[in-house]
């Protein structure tokens, strides 16, 4: 069981502690004198490609690659006050001080509706998830019980952010490794509460809804059944979860961890499913780290149901991929990928699955 405690930071932002032990007393005074943040996010509509872009010029001043001694995600100790006032913690979640989206953005920008220009305030919520107080570890090295606490925290925050009227999609993700562009090396992830459904998720949601309307079944359930039948792209299977490389993988090493039961979002998982997810997710991350001689840079993101639509046809899964295609070589998103959004993969999904299985 996971135990939650809440406190406010010096500038009024929320901080939540998630602990394995009921008697963990984490709440401590934030002694910093923090100036008020100025959030100036906008969302702007691109009518040509039918998608939103977030404009957040204030993020240029965010913290960038501080030394370990000044890490803002470590606990506050020895007179060094950080974003985490407590001297220790298991998992901590707090509002980002330099958010791409924020509720107060509604006060900064008026809605513009003058075709072809359409924009509005970048309302939403951005939170930072500190997986552990240990600066020198990674998610893959957490204990199963600790990983389960992270999953509980993500599920709790998903449920809370989904209640905000301005949030249409909750995306939990982790960027790991300097090659990915990580600016804080402490093990952490993020949660974005978008005021719209992101383009990729919207396309997937519409495809799933169309399939359900035509066939009366879940598209991902059918994909999962067929992948299990084919077998050569399956990485591992447990009672509640299946890890596989998708048939049309875009990245050199890309995997999806899919719930065996038709379920839409993290808060809907049973206790047994969460326990099994902790085991399965750790196993998958450890497989990625065995691909190369050095820790594998990756992006991991949870594909959950949109908040207010497509709930019945959505099927929960997580995606993990690396931009490293071989030792010392990265997969760059060049002309075809960045310009035309057509991925060209140098590694076949079947051979990637074999390497992740350890064959």
Residue 211 sits in the same domain as residue 299: yes
d(CA 339, CA 12): 41
Q: Which helix (H) or strand (E) covers residue 44, if one does?
A: strand 42-46
d(CA 93, CA 129): 4
Residue in 242, 140, 126, 139 with CA at minimum distance from that of residue 190: 126
Contact indicator for 177, 116 with CB cutoff of 8 Å: no
Burial of 37 (0-12, 13-18, 19+ CB in 10 A): middle
* Active site annotation includes 58: no
Residue 191 sits in the same domain as residue 208: no
Centre a 10 Å sphere on the Cβ of residue 230 and count the other Cβ atoms it contains: 12
d(CA 79, CA 113): 50
Tokens 């952490």 belong to which residue? Answer: 188
Instruction: Mark residue 87 as left, alpha or beta (left: phi above 0; alpha: psi -120 to 50; beta: remaining).
Output: alpha
CATH number of the CATH domain containing 185: 3.30.428.10
pLDDT above 70 (res 62): no
Q: Which of 165, 196, 227 is the last residue of a domain?
A: 196
Instruction: Mark residue 88 as left, alpha or beta (left: phi above 0; alpha: psi -120 to 50; beta: remaining).
Output: beta
Residue 181 sits in the same domain as residue 75: yes
End-to-end Cα distance, the chain:
36
Residue 147 sits in the same domain as residue 51: yes
Residue 187 sits in the same domain as residue 204: no
Residue 174 sits in the same domain as residue 298: no
> 188, 240, 303, 315: which one is catalytic?
188
Residue 179 sits in the same domain as residue 227: no
Its sign, for the CA torsion 150, 313, 322, 170, is negative
Report CA-CA distances (Å) from 123 to 118, 309, 329: 15, 19, 38
Average pLDDT for 142-148 = 98
Give the pLDDT confidence score for residue 106 in this predicted structure.
58
d(CA 102, CA 334): 32
Residue 160 sits in the same domain as residue 215: no
Residue 238 sits in the same domain as residue 307: yes
Domain that includes residue 68, residue range? 3-196
Instruction: Quote the Cα angle for 222-170-254, to 5°.
Output: 50
d(CA 161, CA 158): 5
| Mean pLDDT of the chain, nearest integer | 93
Average pLDDT for 174-200 = 94
Average pLDDT for 102-125 = 82
Q: What is the pLDDT of residues 311-356, one digit of tens each?
A: 899 999 999 999 999 999 999 989 999 999 999 999 999 999 999 9
User: Which residues does 107 contact at the CB level (< 8 Å), separation at least 6?
Assistant: 121
Q: Which of 139, 165, 196 is the last residue of a domain?
A: 196
d(CA 333, CA 355): 23
d(CA 264, CA 107): 33
Average pLDDT for 216-233 = 97
Residue 37 sits in the same domain as residue 173: yes
More confident residue, 36 or 114: 114
Q: Which of 196, 226, 259 is the last residue of a domain?
A: 196
Residue 51 sits in the same domain as residue 161: yes
Give the pLDDT confidence score for residue 1 in this predicted structure.
82
Give the pLDDT confidence score for residue 19 in this predicted structure.
95
Q: Edge-to-edge strands of the sheet including 234-237?
A: 3-8, 14-19, 91-95, 125-130, 188-194, 169-176, 298-303, 317-322, 253-259, 241-244, 234-237
d(CA 182, CA 42): 23
Residue 177 sits in the same domain as residue 218: no
Q: In the chain, how many domains are there?
A: 2
């Amino acid at each position: 069981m996971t135990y939650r405690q809440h406190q406010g930071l010096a500038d009024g932002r929320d901080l939540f502690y998630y602990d394995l032990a009921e008697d963990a007393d984490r709440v401590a005074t934030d002694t910093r004198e923090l100036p008020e943040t100025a959030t100036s996010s906008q969302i702007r509509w691109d009518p040509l490609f039918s998608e939103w872009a977030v404009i957040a010029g204030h993020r240029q001043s965010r913290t960038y690659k501080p030394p370990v001694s000044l890490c803002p995600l470590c606990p506050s100790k020895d007179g060094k006050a950080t974003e985490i006032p407590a001297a220790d913690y298991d998992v901590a979640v707090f509002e980002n001080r330099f958010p791409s989206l924020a509720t107060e953005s509604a006060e900064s920008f008026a809605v513009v509706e003058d075709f072809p220009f359409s924009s509005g305030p970048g309302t939403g919520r951005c939170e930072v998830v500190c997986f552990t107080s240990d600066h020198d570890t990674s998610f893959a090295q957490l204990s199963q019980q600790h990983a389960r606490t992270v999953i509980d925290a993500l599920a709790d925050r998903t449920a809370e952010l989904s209640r905000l009227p301005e949030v249409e999609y909750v995306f939990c993700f982790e960027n790991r490794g300097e090659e990915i562009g990580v600016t804080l090396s402490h093990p952490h992830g993020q949660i974005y509460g978008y005021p719209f459904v992101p383009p990729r998720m919207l396309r997937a949601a519409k495809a799933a809804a169309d399939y359900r309307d035509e066939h009366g079944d879940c598209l991902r359930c059918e994909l999962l059944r067929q992948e299990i039948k084919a077998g050569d792209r399956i990485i591992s299977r447990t009672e509640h979860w299946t890890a596989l490389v998708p048939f049309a993988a875009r990245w050199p090493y890309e995997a999806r961890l899919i719930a065996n039961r038709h379920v839409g979002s993290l808060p809907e998982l049973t206790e047994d499913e969460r326990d099994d997810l902790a085991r399965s997710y750790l196993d998958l991350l450890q497989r990625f780290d065995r691909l190369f001689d050095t820790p594998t840079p990756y992006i991991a993101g949870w594909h959950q149901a949109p908040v207010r639509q497509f709930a019945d046809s959505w099927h929960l899964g997580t995606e993990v991929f690396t931009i490293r295609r071989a030792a010392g070589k990265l997969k760059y998103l060049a002309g075809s990928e960045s310009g035309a959004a057509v991925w060209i993969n140098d590694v076949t999904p079947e051979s990637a699955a074999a390497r992740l299985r350890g064959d």
